[in-house]
């Protein structure tokens, strides 16, 4: 199965009730707004989805629910972040069974694999499934860089099709393109580098703040792709204080607070995360409210 | 239940067969050598135990087997490294059921909690169990430092009794003692800083190379505690090139190679880890063989 | 005195003879090529100029020589990198006397000043001169970040007019513009981030590889400013392996090797730097030669 | 000329008057207290001496004054921190002329030399003088590590006799001793690691807080060397909050504040450093005053 890895892929948050159960109605509300705003795919079970706190049963419910609601309009991708190769393969099979079209596959958790082991990890899991795979390359948070030499080896797996580029090194977009052409589609994985990487040739953007601001996110992408850089830049400059919330270790709480403020979510998180309090919450709230108060008027980006 | 947190606590490796199953006979062989060498506790399911690749069923087998073989002579401690508070509590209950005497509790995996969240994590899990808990404080590998202010809060939980000190900052031993006296027993968590921290007042050592060199490890500890620093230092200087193997991301493979060389284990690891090959294996082998060739004669440390 | 801080400002290398004396004829040859290629200013005495090895007498010769040759066509800027405030003031007075139009002022050397001290440093030196000043903001190499709060204070000094932005954080361009408008002109200080920062609104580029490839550097800048992003990007992609030479601690040797290869300089450096040898030299040479062999045809960028 | 590199070598501060001139009477007062406390050498012109702000004329005055007052009782060592090999050689010749017995030679300033260049730097300067040299190995602050392979090469220079070990990696003491025996005397260069490194075999300690607390510093050293570890540790634990002041970028201001509090100095520093103010000053003052209030009674360490 193949996915067209381009455009905006929100890594959406998982909504919880005050009783710490899945809040599917609120989840659906946000999902519909994403679709209306023109996103190109949905990623479940990323860090933003608090995947490390979800049970397998909950992942099943979330995936099936999303697949049903999206109804084939765009692909649904499930994150896999496991410590054992065996378990990653198991999760890939479940994702397939639940109806996902693709996998966002992280390198091994809790072990800093070297190039040989990282390549083996990706090749082994990819060989076990026919789902389309996006490699998550984030050496800052996960300490393993999927190097160009590893990608060299991954070319032989046809279902390894894209990379979530989160190295923080924007030149890596150019290096990937110079070496592999468009063999691997590049999706920017850091909100604050998105416009830069799109200009450099990235094919899409796995967004964070898109959870609360889907229209602005899609607009920046489509304007830039249409060569209307100045308009994209105007929105992007307005957007930056919000996008910087994506850089914090507390990105889940920050983005959920933004979602709550714009009526697209709630602040409930699951332990070990705790809901924001005090001065930290006030500070983030002020960033959000100032930005919302100055929200730019968007051009008709959907027709681009 | 209380544990006397002092002396040598090996974080032992999990032995696998060539078919990737638990190798209990080989595990038992190593375990008996540890006991004969005079270790003071056994830690299962640490990073060295490849815990991230073990199924719950395997952890159960390993724990019950170890508890049975140790037969009350020393405490058996199980590592807990989870992403969800709920699951950590679940694992603590299982550890109790399987017969463990204590828990080595890591901070949350896959989320960089702040002080408030880290304290809540430890307090919530500790309140759910009567097992004795050692806090694993390793901000370098896990990015979360259990700060002195967090320990301040953890004092109210009587079963939080010790810390595996792996901050790399030896002065932290002094800071802990100056602030908390001996409320928290301090076990050095880095092989290469063990003698230094014992001299500063650490109560014990969660060892790595002890898996292959238990007698030398116990000897360094007991000689230092007995004030025979010069003798301890002589062994420690000989030991350093081996102890430095503990600093690598590949510590499991390196230590398993050492165990294999001295007849106390095998090189089999579980994916995503791969067995060493080529120049890297040769280099480590040379360190091991050179050290084995120059193994010092130990004084009668067991009578200290 | 005011400088129009925009466009390409090469931080040129100092040419030495085999006898370790200033090589003014070779220096002049390179300088003329820079001028023909359309650069907008010349910076002497930066890291690339091996300023830390030049005597005051040599700086005088170099500055006067450059000022004479440039003959008012573009501004000549002198780098100041000192440890004592008093000596920085002294150097500023000398620069004025020798005919320089501006100063590239680094934060204090050999001391990690805090915000208050960094602001005082810049304000004190700026108040002592009427030369136009560009702040060099490079927290990676010099460990002192000139923060936005420091720039807030520097606004009161009218001759502090620009910043060499070398934080490696491209978003800082947006932050500076959002906070200060165009009060401070922003010149990208890292070759590998130049196109990105120009797109974000940077006014110029203090270049490194421009020493050997002035036409390509000016072309990327002018095409991007003219909105011809695709053409700029094509050159920039070709350029990247060369531009990456600017990131090394050995950038002086690497860039001098590139200058030598294209007939615009020599490999001579001054101790403690040593000329490249062996495999390292071969590797860099291969990057240079491959790039030269594939040199792109430039459009008529000078008319832009 | 040879120096017996062992014991306590204070890197003393330079005293300034309110008018920013050298304050020789205050300097002498502190110097005499150092001598009475039993220090084994004096180091001028280190970071603590604010060397980067001193003129050559001031260095001459300071060195000659110190040499005269010390009158051969212990060696006087001058720090050299230069960017050009040529200038380092020049400074070495001046130091000899002014009567210094040794040099504390830093790696090149403002350039991150590689192993080959670092070795050449040390060998060239050492070959130019007959003064005894201590290598300052501080890769954290100066980004250049003098590796064991470099020391291997430095063995051929008989006047390179010691190292100020400031790598922060205490195991480096053991590595140096295992590889070079006592060819290079090791002086701990970080106050907070001194006792640990003395236990591991370091021959001395280039101290910082010794400027204000010379007796306690010498006592820790001599007690540890005499095998009276417990007594040394008691003082060291009391000392730690003070010794940690040595880790700050503001160590000069912090230590000068401590000197002022105990009547052995003043707070005057030279720009770009500014005197402490506000909450920061209060916080440091509280550390100092609390420690002074709890000053331990020292045993008769001078007879050890």
Q: Are B176 and B163 in contact (CB under 8 A)?
A: yes
* Per-residue pLDDT tens over the stretch A196-246: 999 999 999 999 999 999 999 999 999 999 999 999 999 999 999 999 999
In chain D, residues 137-196 whose CB comes closer than 8 Å to chain B: 170-171, 174-175, 177-178, 192-193, 195-196
Check CB contact of D13 with chain C, cutoff 8 Å: no
pLDDT band at B1, cuts 50/70/90?
low
A242, A213 Cβ separation under 8 angstroms: yes
Indicate the DSSP class of residue D4.
-
Q: Do A177 and C244 touch (CB under 8 A)?
A: no
- 3-class secondary structure for D209-254? HHHCCHHHHHHHHHHHHCCCHHHHHHHHHHHHHHHHHHHCCCHHHH
Identify which of C15, C40, C20 has the alpha carbon closest to the alpha carbon of residue C30: C15
Find all residues with CB under 8 Å of B97, minimum gap 6, and list them.
none
pLDDT value at A1 more than 60: no
CB contact under 8 A, D229 and B201: no
Residue B172 is inside which H or E element, if any? helix B171-180
Please pick, among D136, D142, D221, D236, the residue that the annotation labels catalytic.
Answer: D136
**What b/e sequence results for A101-116 when a residue is b if at least 16 CB atoms lie within 10 Å of its CB, and e otherwise?**
bbbbbbbbbbbbbbee
Contacts (Cβ under 8 Å, ≥6 apart) of C127: C157
pLDDT at res. D2: 81
Per-residue pLDDT of D219-270, as tens digits, reads: 999 999 999 999 999 999 999 999 999 999 999 999 999 999 999 999 999 9
Sign, Cα dihedral of B120, B123, B127, B131 = positive
Average pLDDT over every residue of C109-115: 97
**Residue indicated by tokens 């290079």:** D184
Quote the radius of gyration of chain A (alpha carbons, Å). Answer: 18
Instruction: Tell me if C178 and A240 make a contact (CB, 8 A cut-off).
Output: yes
Nearest residue to D82 (alpha-carbon basis) of C109, C142, C13: C109
pLDDT of B2:
81
> How far is the C-alpha of D304 from the C-alpha of C154, rounded, in Å?
57
Whether residue A40 contacts residue A204, with contact meaning beta carbons closer than 8 Å, is answered with yes
User: What distance in Å separates residue A209's CA from the closest CA in chain B?
Assistant: 19
**Alpha-carbon span B249 to B272, nearest angstrom:** 13
Q: Topology of A7-298 in CATH?
A: TIM Barrel (3.20.20)
Instruction: Give the contacts of C50 (CB within 8 A, at least 6 positions apart).
Output: C13, C14, C252, C269, C270, C273
DSSP designation for B30: H
Q: Choose from C165, C167, C198, C199 for mutation: most chain A CBs within 10 A.
A: C199
Q: Name the residue among D52, D54, D272 with its Cβ closest to that of C117.
A: D272
Per-residue pLDDT band for D1 (boundaries 50, 70, 90) equals low
pLDDT of C1 strictly over 80: no
Catalytic residue (choose from B6, B15, B122, B136):
B136
Cα distances (Å, whole numbers) of residue C256 to A253, C9, C217: 50, 17, 16
CA distance B191 to B208: 6
The distance from CA B89 to its chain's CA centroid, rounded to whole angstroms, is 21
pLDDT, tens only, A152-209: 999 999 999 999 999 999 999 999 999 999 999 999 999 999 999 999 999 999 999 9
Percent of chain A's residues with pLDDT above 70:
100
pLDDT value at residue D124:
98
C–A touching, 3+ CB–CB pairs within 8 Å: yes
% pLDDT > 70, chain D: 100
Cα-flanking dihedrals φ and ψ of residue C161, to 5°?
Answer: -120, -10
Instruction: Give kind and range of the element (H or E) at residue B102.
Output: strand B102-105
Q: How far apart are CA A214 and CA A193, in angstroms?
A: 17
Backbone angles phi, psi at D171, to 5 degrees: -60, -20
The mean predicted confidence, pLDDT, of chain D is 97
Question: Is residue D140 a known part of a binding site?
Answer: no
Confirm or reject contact between B271 and chain A (CB < 8 A): yes
Please state the separation of Cα C74 from the chain's center in Å.
14
pTM summary value:
0.97
Cβ pairs bridging B and D (under 8 Å) = 48
Q: Report pLDDT digits (tens) over D204-214.
A: 999 999 999 99
Chain A residues close to C233, C-beta within 8 Å = 199-201
Sheet holding D102-105, edge to edge: D7-10, D204-207, D185-188, D160-165, D132-137, D102-105, D76-80, D42-44
D298 alpha carbon, distance to own chain's centre: 23
Q: Which residue of A has its CA nearest to C244?
A: A171
Are the C-beta atoms of residues B255 and B267 closer than 8 Å to each other? Answer: no
Extents of the domains making up chain D: 7-298
Over residues A257-263, the mean pLDDT reads 98
Average pLDDT over residues A118-140: 98
Query: C64-73 burial by CB neighbour count: b if 16+ within 10 A, else e?
Result: ebbbebbeee
Residue D171 CB coordination number (10 Å): 19
CB spacing of A124 vs B271 below 8 angstroms? yes
Of C170, C227, C240, the CB nearest to A193: C170
Q: What's the mean pLDDT in B70-74?
A: 97
Q: Of all helices (H) and strands (E), which one includes residue D9?
A: strand D7-10
| Pairwise pLDDT comparison (D249 vs D2), residue with the higher score | D249
Quick one: residue C75, left, alpha or beta (phi over 0 = left, psi -120 to 50 = alpha)? Answer: beta
Residues of C known to be catalytic: 136, 164
ipTM of the complex: 0.96
Cα→Cα distances D230→B106, C28, D235, Å: 33, 69, 9
Specify whether A221 is catalytic. no
Q: In Å, how far is A210's CA from the nearest CA of chain B? A: 21
Mean predicted confidence (pLDDT) in B19-37: 98
pLDDT (0 to 100) of residue D303: 94
CA distance to C41, C300, D32, D60, D81, per residue, from D45 (Å): 39, 56, 18, 11, 9
With a pLDDT cut of 70, the percent of chain B lying above it is 100
**D103 CA to chain B: closest CA distance, Å?**
30
Measured distance CA(D90)–CA(D135) in Å, rounded: 17
Instruction: Give the whole-angstrom CA distance, residue C285 versus residue A182.
Output: 28
């Amino acid at each position: 199965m193949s996915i067209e890895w381009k455009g905006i892929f929100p890594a959406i948050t998982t909504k919880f009730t005050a009783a710490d159960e899945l809040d599917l109605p609120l989840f659906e509300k946000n999902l519909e707004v994403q679709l209306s705003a023109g996103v190109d795919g949905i990623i479940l079970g990323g860090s933003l989805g608090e995947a490390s706190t979800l049970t397998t049963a909950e992942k099943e419910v979330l995936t099936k629910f999303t697949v049903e609601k999206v109804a084939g309009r765009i692909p649904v991708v499930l994150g896999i972040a496991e410590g054992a190769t065996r378990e990653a393969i198991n999760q890939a099979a479940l994702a397939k069974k639940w109806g996902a079209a693709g996998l966002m596959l992280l390198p091994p958790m809790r072990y800093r694999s070297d190039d040989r082991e990282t390549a083996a990890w990706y090749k082994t899991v990819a060989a076990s499934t026919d789902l389309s795979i996006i490699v998550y390359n984030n050496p800052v948070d996960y300490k393993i860089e999927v190097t160009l030499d590893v990608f060299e080896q991954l070319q032989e797996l046809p279902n390894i099709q894209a990379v979530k580029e989160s190295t923080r090194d924007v030149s890596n977009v150019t290096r990937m393109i110079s070496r592999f052409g468009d063999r691997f589609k590049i999706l920017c994985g850091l909100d604050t580098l998105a416009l830069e990487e799109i200009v450099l040739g990235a094919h899409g953007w796995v967004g964070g703040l898109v959870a609360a601001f889907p229209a602005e996110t899609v607009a920046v992408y489509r304007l830039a792709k249409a060569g209307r850089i100045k308009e994209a830049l105007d929105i992007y400059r307005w957007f930056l204080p919000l996008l910087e919330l994506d850089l914090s270790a507390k990105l889940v709480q920050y983005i959920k607070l933004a979602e709550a403020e714009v009526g697209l979510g709630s602040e409930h998180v699951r332990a070990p995360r705790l809901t924001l309090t005090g001065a930290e919450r006030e500070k983030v709230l002020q960033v959000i409210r100032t930005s919302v108060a100055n929200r730019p008027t968007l051009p008709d980006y959907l027709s681009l």
